[in-house]
Chain A
Amino acid sequence: DTGVSQDPRHKITKRGQNVTFRCDPISEHNRLYWYRQTLGQGPEFLTYFQNEAQLEKSRLLSDRFSAERPKGSFSTLEIQRTEQGDSAMYLCASSFEGTGAYEQYFGPGTRLTVT
């Protein structure tokens, strides 16, 4: 396994268009997270899944954002009617839930530019 992968790595779109990003976690990991990172800031939590269930959403995740993890494996993050303020790096991470604490493993991110 080569780690968490994300596709595409870069996306340029015009305001108002819809975009969809994909994340493939580490295969044995049952938790998957989405973060957004803007310039000069650390990642900000958006949402996470345990298997196929979306268990928490940040208030940063407006109604234009939707995430799915239909079979408990890969996940998609869709942004509808993109706005310039959506321009950011979207990061995916995965972890394995077990006893105690566990770290999250991050993918390379998808950089979104909304023009």
Chain B
Amino acid sequence: AQSVSQHNHHVILSEAASLELGCNYSYGGTVNLFWYVQYPGQHLQLLLKYFSGDPLVKGIKGFEAEFIKSKFSFNLRKPSVQWSDTAEYFCAVNARGNNNDMRFGAGTRLTVKP
């Protein structure tokens, strides 16, 4: 079964700093990859997704992620964070053809200081 590791439990940045959140997964087959975000007091929302094609995917609010198959990674990036990006970020994976079994990482809490 697949599993997901998020390397950073809590990241603290100042506004305008660049962000990179690590995500590695463990699965031998073809996968779909997702980043979800949970703003304080709100529900999980999809930030971006990778199914196939260009490994560099762009999501909402200036976020992007790069799928590196050889490294089993799907790191999330943003060149310049804002205070409003303060949230918890979850990486998730499911196996192509078994879309019901979505595995989530433990999450990374991002705090952006104004």
A44 to B42, CA, bound (A): 18
Chain A residues contacting B45 (CB-CB under 8 Å) are 106
Query: Taking chain B's interface residues, is the majority helix, strand, or loop, or is none over half, making it mixed?
Result: strand
Q: Is the CB of B100 within 8 A of A42?
A: no
B60-114 interface with A by 8 A CB criterion:
90, 92, 94, 96, 99-107
What is the number of contacts between chain A and chain B, taking CB atoms within 8 Å?
55
Contact A43 B101 (CB under 8 A): no
B44 touching A91, Cβ below 8 Å: yes
Cα A46 to Cα B6 with chains together (Å) = 21
Q: Is A87 an interface position by the 8 A CB rule?
A: no
Instruction: Specify the chain A residue showing the minimal Cβ separation from B109.
Output: A40
Are B43 and A40 in contact, with the CB atoms below 8 A?
no
The reply to whether the CB of A72 lies closer than 8 angstroms to some CB of chain B is: no
Q: Which residue of B4, B42, B102 contacts A104 across the interface (Cβ within 8 Å)?
A: B102
Q: Is the CB of B106 within 8 A of A45?
A: no
**Cβ–Cβ < 8 Å partners of A93 in chain B:** 44
- Which 10 A-B residue pairings sit nearest by Cβ, starting from the closest? A42-B104, A106-B44, A101-B32, A108-B43, A101-B51, A48-B100, A42-B90, A43-B104, A103-B46, A106-B43
Residues of B within 8 A of A (CB): 4, 9, 32, 34, 36, 42-46, 49, 51, 90, 92, 94, 96, 99-107
